[in-house]
Structure 1
Amino acid sequence: MSPYLSFFLMPKYKMNKVFFWFSLLTLIHGVKNTEIKCIVGTTVTLPSGLNTFSNPSSIKWTINVDNSKKYIIFFSDSETIPGSYDPLRDRVSLNTTTGDLEIRSVKLTDSDTYAVEIENKEAKRHSSEVILSVYERLPEPNIAVTNGTYKHELCRMSLLCSVRSGDVKFNWSSEPLPYGCYLEPLQNSTATTSSHTTSELTAWCNPDRTVDITCTVRNNMSSNTSTTATKCPLKQKCKDIDECRTPPCSFFTPFIVGVITSTFLCALIYALKGKIHNFWNKHVVPCGGFAKYSSSENSSDQASSDSHPTKPLKSDSNCPDSKTKNAVAL
């Protein structure tokens, strides 16, 4: 037999019972649980969930303390009355239109289950529960640089970020190379103790600059950051060429210094070439030296140079032993 047909064929008293429970469910709406999360010190609103009727005539917010119902706030006959639950007495306010409850300066001890009952003049009722979970704000993390060495022309540093909290996620950031760092988080580097959570990182940074590295911690409710300025320590004497950033310990250094010095001396001589040539012709050649005829001299002299390739120099009274010495032709 069809269930619909059996409904109409059932006895009258059974039909009355079904209509009774159906009417009761339309007047009293089932309890709806809502979960709210917030941070210590903030303001939170607990929703009543009322959406089936308006203009409530009475509103009651309660909390269960030691298996005893404590009234937080009560609204009836257009009057709002504070409840008997002292921890929230001066920190709550009620929206008499929607039935929502506002709690200011939330504390960790406010975490609990709150219940609301609403009724209007037509005897329609609504009830629901709100689970409030309050969390501490994440503290600022601490960054420590454990060591710093020169390697592969970069500064290799190890950093440790720690925070006084559990169940957090870490994120490292900095300006990228060539001016900043390449960040390499270690695998399985996050560790949690009874009071702290830590994350370890290897950073390859520009060795000649101070670089800011930031550690950010985050959970489901809040986040916080800390930044440290990092710079490699002063470089010590070179012990291992592969570990050195610059090549002062290699054999190329004396060669490079010699090339630079020779280049400088050549440039200096080239710049003073004219002065040296004039000095030679004025002071050295007249005093016993010989000079070739220039192309500007008389062509007859040039022709005679085939038999006499050089010209004897005249003596000069300013030259030493000029009275006793004559120029000797080469």
Structure 2
Amino acid sequence: MQSGPGGQPVLAAGTQGAYSRRWSAVHCGYSLQIRPLRLQDSGLYRAWLALQSPPINITRDFTLRVYEKLQEPNITVSSQITKDGACHITLICSLQQAGEDVQYGWAPLGQGAVMSCGGTTLHVSWTPGVSDSYRCTISNPVSQSSSSVPARPLCSASFLPRSLKKEFLLFLILGALQIE
């Protein structure tokens, strides 16, 4: 039994099962605590409040959501350099265990950048001087984390597929021969 408003006693009844040793009622304020809190504690709950004098019973349903601190996201990259020299980059931001209510974002977006509906993927036509790197930021209601990738190496000859490298090298040699 605990004190309620104006010192009136409130009955606090325990629960059985997994919570029987992990919950406690805070003396003031009609708060319940579950400690230690676990991810699997997320779900629907019902609380009953019973005042003895005057006799009042109150029932409330609520949803408990438990979140974890987010780890640093992984960025998967692919790029393609077209014959006209344009570099198209696709960046995919991911987490091993995303959990619920995770939001994704990219910066900078810039002109011509297209972000997928969920924000996990960014398509960019990159030109030198526009942006040195792209950053994926993830967040949930309790934490935020980010990771970045440099753009310039993705659009260099060393990142090109082997067949395109040969074409690029041949183009450079022919260009040099014409200069002389």
Same fold (TM over 0.5): yes
Residue 184 (structure 1) shift? 0.6
Rounded to whole Å, the distance in 1 between the matches of 2:8 and 2:76 is 58
TM-score, normalization: structure 1?
Answer: 0.38
Q: Is the 8 A contact 1:213 1:227 kept in 2?
A: yes
Q: Secondary structure at the match of 1:54?
A: helix
* Percentage of pairs with the same residue: 19
Q: Is the 8 A contact 1:154 1:206 kept in 2?
A: no
Residue 213 (structure 1) shift? 1.8
1:92 aligns with 2:13: no
> Which structure has more strand as a fraction of its residues?
2
C-alpha spacing 1:167/1:108, structure 2 compared with 1 (3 Å): closer
CA root-mean-square deviation:
4.1
Give the aligned length: 162
Q: Is the 8 A contact 2:79 2:87 kept in 1?
A: no
1:108 aligns with 2:39: yes
Alignment partner, residue 199 of structure 1: 121
Task: Give the aligned residue type for 2:63.
Answer: L
Q: Is the 8 A contact 1:107 1:134 kept in 2?
A: no
Rounded to whole Å, the distance in 2 between the matches of 1:146 and 1:223 is 25
Q: Which has the larger radius of gyration?
A: 1
Alignment partner, residue 297 of structure 1: none
Q: Is the 8 A contact 1:205 1:211 kept in 2?
A: no
Alignment partner, residue 136 of structure 2: 215
Rounded to whole Å, the distance in 2 between the matches of 1:226 and 1:151 is 31
Alignment partner, residue 9 of structure 2: 57
1:170 aligns with 2:92: no
Q: Secondary structure at the match of 1:127?
A: strand
Q: Is the 8 A contact 2:67 2:141 kept in 1?
A: no
Q: Deviations over 1:237-291 (max 9, x none)?
A: 3566xxx9xxx9379955xxxxxxxxxxxxxxxxxxxxxxxxxxxxxxxxxxxxx
Residue 91 (structure 1) shift? 3.0
Rounded to whole Å, the distance in 2 between the matches of 1:162 and 1:108 is 20
Q: Is the 8 A contact 2:138 2:146 kept in 1?
A: yes
1:142 aligns with 2:74: yes
Alignment partner, residue 29 of structure 1: none
C-alpha spacing 1:216/1:238, structure 2 compared with 1 (3 Å): same
Task: Give the aligned residue type for 2:157.
Answer: L
Q: Deviations over 1:116-139 (max 9, x none)?
A: 22314x334242324233244355
Alignment partner, residue 249 of structure 1: 175
Indicate the structure whose relative CO is greater, using CA pairs within 8 Å and at least 6 residues apart.
2
Q: Deviations over 1:154-181 (max 9, x none)?
A: 754222223454775431114x9xxxx7
Written as runs of structure 1 = structure 2, the 5 A alignment for 1:26-41 is: none
2:157 to 209, 222, 234: 234
Residue 212 (structure 1) shift? 3.2
Q: Is the 8 A contact 1:141 1:225 kept in 2?
A: yes
Rounded to whole Å, the distance in 2 between the matches of 1:202 and 1:239 is 27
Q: Is the 8 A contact 1:217 1:225 kept in 2?
A: yes
Rounded to whole Å, the distance in 1 between the matches of 2:149 and 2:36 is 32
TM-score, normalization: structure 2?
Answer: 0.62
Task: Give the aligned residue type for 2:104.
Answer: F
Q: Is the 8 A contact 1:115 1:130 kept in 2?
A: yes
Rounded to whole Å, the distance in 1 between the matches of 2:65 and 2:128 is 44
Rounded to whole Å, the distance in 1 between the matches of 2:83 and 2:92 is 20
